[in-house]
């Protein structure tokens, strides 16, 4: 097919009629359908869209602000709880220490009191023995320088028994033991009176123990 210029295919509109084209001169062109243009939204639709977008933005902002506030309050509560826990542990440790100190003091007091009660008879017996031994020594000195045939010693039977054991045979021969209801041992020789102070010593001992307990 012979090539012709584009101008040859344009019909002459000024002529009496359109130029007839031969079959070979007809060129078919593909017709492409143009898509429909979307309709412009109305004012109401634009307002509704703007409102929805503003509402969504406000909700997102409010949600973010609420989450920030909750996080801050959570941190504050955790800090307060930690401070309260530390304060409670410190107070508990202080009270526990005070209670332990008080318990130890009470335990020491009770232990000392129990030991004193156990030792009280032993101490009293030791005081009695020392008193009788001292009285026996004094009595022996009196007997060595006395011309009296017999010296009378009065006092509790138990103390007189121990005194008799400490005097020996010669001393017992020169001393007459006279049991009485008195607490003390007493010996009178001329103008000299020898008497123990056992009751006063025992009283002071019991008084001191009561003050300690």
- The pLDDT of residue 148 is 58
Residue ranges of the chain with pLDDT lower than 50? none
- The pLDDT of residue 131 is 83
Intra-chain end-to-end CA distance of the chain, in Å:
142
- The pLDDT of residue 183 is 81
Q: Which CATH topology does 120-212 take?
A: Nucleotidyltransferase; domain 5 (3.30.420)
**What letter would DSSP give residue 187?**
E
Strands in 192-195's sheet, in edge-to-edge order, are 175-179, 151-155, 186-189, 192-195
Q: What share of the chain is helix, strand, coil (3-state, %, to 5)?
A: 65, 10, 25
Per-domain residue ranges for the chain? Answer: 120-212
- The pLDDT of residue 109 is 80
Q: What SS3 state is found at 66?
A: helix
DSSP track, 125-140? HHHHHHHHHHHHHHHH
Which residue in 28, 206, 204 sits closest to 116, CA to CA?
A: 206
Q: How far is CA 207 from CA 113, 200, 213, in A?
A: 13, 10, 10
Element spanning 103, H or E = helix 43-144
- The pLDDT of residue 26 is 56
pTM equals 0.43
8 Å CB contact between 201 and 120: no
Q: Which long-range contacts (CB under 8 A, 24 or more apart) does 142-149 make?
A: 142/187, 142/189, 142/192, 142/194, 143/171, 143/174, 143/175, 146/189, 148/189, 148/190, 149/174
Q: What is the pLDDT of residues 15-66, one digit of tens each?
A: 555 556 566 655 555 555 566 677 777 888 888 888 888 888 888 888 989 9
- The pLDDT of residue 21 is 55
Residue 24 CB partners (closer than 8 Å, separation 6+): 1
């Amino acid at each position: 097919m012979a090539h012709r210029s584009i101008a040859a295919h344009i019909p002459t509109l000024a002529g009496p009629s359109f130029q007839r084209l031969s079959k070979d001169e007809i060129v078919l062109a593909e017709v492409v359908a143009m898509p429909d243009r979307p309709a412009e939204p109305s004012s109401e639709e634009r307002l509704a869209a703007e409102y929805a977008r503003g509402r969504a933005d406000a909700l997102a902002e409010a949600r973010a602000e609420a989450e920030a506030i909750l996080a801050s309050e959570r941190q504050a509560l955790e800090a307060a709880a930690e401070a309260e826990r530390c304060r409670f542990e410190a107070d508990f440790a202080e009270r526990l220490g005070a209670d332990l100190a008080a318990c130890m003091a009470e335990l020491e007091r009770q232990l000392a009191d129990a030991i004193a009660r156990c030792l009280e008879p032993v101490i009293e017996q030791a005081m009695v023995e020392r008193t009788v031994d001292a009285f026996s020594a004094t009595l022996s000195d009196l007997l060595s320088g006395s011309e009296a045939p017999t010296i009378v010693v009065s006092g509790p039977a138990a103390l007189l028994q121990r005194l008799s054991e400490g005097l020996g045979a010669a001393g017992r021969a020169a001393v007459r033991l006279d049991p009485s209801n008195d607490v003390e041992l007493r010996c009178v020789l001329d103008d000299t009176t020898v008497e123990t102070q056992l009751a006063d010593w025992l009283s002071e001992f019991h008084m001191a123990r009561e003050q300690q307990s």
